[in-house]
Structure 1
Amino acid sequence: MPPAHPVPPVEHAEKPSLRGIAEGARYAWSRPVLLGTYAVDLAAMFFAFPNTIFPFLADELDADWALGLMYSAGAVGSLLLSLTSGWVSRTQRHGLFVVFGATGWGLAMAAAGWASNIWLVLVFLGLAGAGDMLSGLGRSTIWNQTIPDRLRGRLAGIEVLSYSIGPQLGQVRAGAMAGWTGARPAIWSGGLACVAAVGLLTAALPKLVSYDARTDADARRRAAERTGTASAREDVAADL
């Protein structure tokens, strides 16, 4: 039995090339909303991803037994937000998710660095994970709503670079600073730097904050393309 909604074949598939990568980069650079999603994520990970110094934080707090909990607290926070994320489908201002989520991530990390009670540290790390997930929901929704199918793989490659480079550089920053100031100052100062960086990026890229899927030109164009594709699929299915 054939599928109910067969996917039409790609008529003009392009081979991977440096030219194609450059085209994707130019497209992202020309779209302030997309550029903002990448830049905010990179800043958040660079300034406030201190996982590498959690063992030293646990030692400073005399809570070596909580090291595993510290590593998992962020994932728990992300999971809890995901389980309650149904309301996301009823909103259109996903750029605010990116900004508020990254800001919340930074503030929660700063609070985790300030806290001297291990249980408060775990709570704040969980809140940081929730903020990261909120920002991630906003980013992925904006990408799905605005990026043309022909450029989706190229721009996904840019995100992979951001996702892989940001945390690694963030851990280098945290480790180097912890060597100078200690674990806790390295964490809370990074969290505050994250908030400041997000604020500067928001001021430099205001279209990210004002993004609305109902009025954004790329989102409306993409929605029209999806509507046309769905109609074509229905016509194909009716002929089978």
Structure 2
Amino acid sequence: MSQATRRPRSWMIDTRPLRVPTFRRTWIGNGASYFGFQFTAVAVPVQMFAITGSPTWVGLLGVAGLVPLLIFGLWGGAVADVVDRRKLLLCSSVITWAGTLALLIQALLGVRSGHLLLALTAVQSAGFAVSSPARQAIVPRIVPERLVPAANTLNYTTITAGGVLGPLTAGVIMGVWSTGTGVTVAYAVDVLMFTVTFWATWRLPDIPPAAHEDHGEKPSAGLRGILAGLRFLATQPVLLLSFVIDLIAMVFAMPRALFPAVAVQFGGGSVVGWLYSAIAIGAMIGGLTSGWIGRIGRQGLALVVAVVGWGVAIGLSGLADHLWVMVLMLALAGAADLVSAVYRQTIMQTFAPDRLRGRLQGVFTVVVAGGPRLGDLRAGATADLTSVGASWVGGGFVAAGLAVVLACTSPALIRYQSEPERVDAG
């Protein structure tokens, strides 16, 4: 094994992919972008709740983000298999940035429109849906395949670090200033941080589509190309089940639409920042102690266990009477989510051929980003029909139970085995 890929057995995070300059710049850009986006992720629901006073309206933000994901996620994945992925990232990033800038402008003008917030959320989601398949599909093109799990862990850990610092800082902003001023500052931070992403994307090398000639497939960014990816997915139960189990976890056990209402119960102010960052705190700690992830061969079974752990921890957090207990259980859920996210992404990236990777990444984007938005709608609507507690607790335990049922009735996923990384004894 070469010095570039050798590492000792360790529980600490594997940093070898950072030795690749292209990956290192991309990693920095992604981290800065997600840190900035967390300010918007907190500000939009807080502003919506301040305008409407309804968890259902907060949940509708999930729908506004889901529809563009369904349309542009699949299409963006097909385009990523046809055009240069660097150019696609640049164009789609402009769309996302424009949506964030519009949020800042409406806050500065004092516009109080729930419908406008829904529309701008949709614009941001469209840009994200187009860029995400290409951004993830390039990872196996810029690092050796053996380092893909480590690269994914680094990406997710950095993202969750932004998910910790961003909401906490946004919570401080909300506590110091009034709601109107707080959301304005939050949107401004997001606009500024996105410039780092532009820099990192601009420095990428050209990443043209993989050759298709040997496979008898003519490149297509239209419906035919999308259907080719879906046909491949339909014949691969391991991939299909990994997508389904993630949908179960996010639709039934994502409580974030309830955070504004729960924050009010605990006194408001910076509490909302702790709630939005708690899951990310756990994920970050899980990432920093993730040296073992690349050594697991039974990745399918590990994915199922992580999803069950996520559901149980979410359910228990909803039963907490004290904020610190709730934050602790949400953090445990976040650690489980980090593990499941790394294995889902790694299975997809290493299982799919590069000529189809963009399209399958598009489906992955729809599932991973669309699931939480459906979860927002479910959580908000259920809370209005029953109570916040029933929506939160019930959703967590239902997700854990359904994951177990799925694993037992469709065992292809738990039987899936990749070759674990062999560590050089020298």
C-alpha distance in structure 2 between counterparts of 1:209 and 1:39, whole Å: 13
The 1:10–1:142 alpha-carbon spacing in structure 2 relative to 1, beyond 3 Å, is closer
- Name the aligned partner's letter for residue 414 of structure 2: V
Q: CA deviation at 1:20?
A: 1.7
C-alpha distance in structure 2 between counterparts of 1:9 and 1:182, whole Å: 50
Q: CA deviation at 1:204?
A: 3.0
Out of 9, 16, 20, the residue aligned to residue 225 of structure 2 is: 20
Q: CA deviation at 1:191?
A: 0.1
Please tell me whether residue 123 in structure 1 is matched to residue 323 in structure 2: no
The 1:90–1:178 alpha-carbon spacing in structure 2 relative to 1, beyond 3 Å, is same
Q: Is the 8 A contact 2:313 2:332 kept in 1?
A: yes
DSSP 3-state at the match of 1:114: coil
Out of 406, 412, 416, the residue aligned to residue 211 of structure 1 is: 416
Taking the TM superposition and a 5 Å limit, the aligned residue runs for 1:1-240 are 10-12=210-212, 14-62=219-267, 65-214=270-419
Q: CA deviation at 1:19?
A: 1.4
Residue equivalent to 2:161:
none
The Cα offsets for residues 213-238 of structure 1, whole Å up to 9 and x where unpaired, read as: 149xxxxxxxxxxxxxxxxxxxxxxx
Q: CA deviation at 1:135?
A: 0.5
The 1:12–1:28 alpha-carbon spacing in structure 2 relative to 1, beyond 3 Å, is closer
Q: Is the 8 A contact 2:253 2:395 kept in 1?
A: yes
Q: Is the 8 A contact 1:48 1:191 kept in 2?
A: yes
Q: What TM-score, normalized to structure 2? A: 0.47
The 1:100–1:58 alpha-carbon spacing in structure 2 relative to 1, beyond 3 Å, is same
Q: Is the 8 A contact 2:383 2:391 kept in 1?
A: yes
Q: CA deviation at 1:65?
A: 4.0
Residue equivalent to 1:235:
none
Residue equivalent to 1:232:
none
Stretch deviating more after TM superposition (80-89 or 50-59)? 50-59
Q: CA deviation at 1:30?
A: 1.2
Q: Is the 8 A contact 2:315 2:392 kept in 1?
A: yes
* % identical equivalent positions: 39
Q: CA deviation at 1:71?
A: 0.4
Q: CA deviation at 1:21?
A: 1.0
Q: CA deviation at 1:9?
A: 8.2
DSSP 3-state at the match of 1:92: coil
Structure number with the bigger relative contact order (C-alpha 8 A, sep ≥ 6) is 1
C-alpha distance in structure 2 between counterparts of 1:52 and 1:91, whole Å: 34
Unaligned runs of 5+ in 2: 1-143, 145-206, 214-218, 421-426
C-alpha distance in structure 1 between counterparts of 2:208 and 2:264, whole Å: 58
- Name the aligned partner's letter for residue 119 of structure 1: W
C-alpha distance in structure 2 between counterparts of 1:92 and 1:203, whole Å: 19
Stretch deviating more after TM superposition (128-137 or 199-208)? 199-208
C-alpha distance in structure 2 between counterparts of 1:9 and 1:209, whole Å: 32
DSSP 3-state at the match of 1:67: helix
The Cα offsets for residues 53-110 of structure 1, whole Å up to 9 and x where unpaired, read as: 1122233345654221010011111111111111111111111221111111111110
The number of aligned residues is 211
Q: Is the 8 A contact 1:44 1:194 kept in 2?
A: yes
- Name the aligned partner's letter for residue 212 of structure 2: H
The Cα offsets for residues 171-228 of structure 1, whole Å up to 9 and x where unpaired, read as: 111111111222111100000110122112212320101111149xxxxxxxxxxxxx
C-alpha distance in structure 1 between counterparts of 2:366 and 2:408, whole Å: 24
The 1:55–1:103 alpha-carbon spacing in structure 2 relative to 1, beyond 3 Å, is same
Q: What TM-score, normalized to structure 1? A: 0.81
